Amino acid sequence: MNRMKIVITEALLATLLASSVGISGATGTLSASAVQAAAPAQTTASAPTAAAGAQSPPTHLSAPAKGASGVGGPVSRKLKMSSKSAEVYYGLIWGVDSLKVRYTESGEIIRFSYRVLDVQKAGTLNDKKHEPSLIDPKAGVKLVVPSMEKVGKLRQTSTPQPGKIYWMAFSNKGRLVKPGDHVNVVIGNFQANGLVVE
């Protein structure tokens, strides 16, 4: 029975890796007053196994089919996974868990955070060569990580360490992305779909 579960999980992962997403939308900037809300104190935690996350993962993971275009554009297929399956997927493939998207008090910043389990697998998320984007199909926008004078990009690009939580901040000018929205985070080849803005 355990072997069958492993085979099914591997098949799901292979399907997800073969998927791609088309993105378009709008970007924004943010006021300097919102920067403070984007950088809370660093926290650390012991890294769990890939199959056992300490916090609840996304409610589902949707993999758009190839050929989808535009924010919120129609897709021919969606693969939905349970919270447990999504947690296992992120841990096995990307070496991260505890993915969170939070609406800050000012509303001008959307903060995405994750915990590193495997340094090598999680390297893509901290690679400064990859420009992150947060896509809200409902609002029809794509948010980017802004660059502040004397501060630089509002994201962490240091070499990841196991058990440590990392974050990045997306500009939400106009407060178009709202709490309760389901969003997709794309960083290079990494893609997390259906994350709920808290």
**How would residue 81 be classed by pLDDT, with cut points 50, 70 and 90?**
low
Whether the CB-CB separation of 60 and 176 falls below 8 Å is answered with no
Look over the chain and give the mean of its residue pLDDT values, rounded to a whole number.
Answer: 73
**How would residue 152 be classed by pLDDT, with cut points 50, 70 and 90?**
confident
- Over residues 60-66, mean pLDDT: 41
Tens of pLDDT, residue by residue over 161-189, are 999 999 999 999 999 999 999 999 999 99
Spell out the domain ranges in the chain.
2-196
**C-alpha span between 93 and 73 (Å, rounded):** 26
pLDDT of residue 99: 95
**How would residue 28 be classed by pLDDT, with cut points 50, 70 and 90?**
very low
CA distances from 10 to 15, 16, 57, 138 (A): 9, 10, 19, 31
Start-to-end Cα distance in the chain: 37
Sheet bearing 96-103, strands edge to edge: 96-103, 109-116, 165-171
- Over residues 139-158, mean pLDDT: 91
CA distances from 179 to 16, 103, 111, 112, 141 (A): 26, 6, 12, 13, 15
Instruction: Tokens for 89, please give them.
Output: 């997927």
Whether the CB-CB separation of 191 and 21 falls below 8 Å is answered with yes
pTM value surpassing 0.85: no
Region of poorest pLDDT, from 65-74, 100-109, 181-190: 65-74
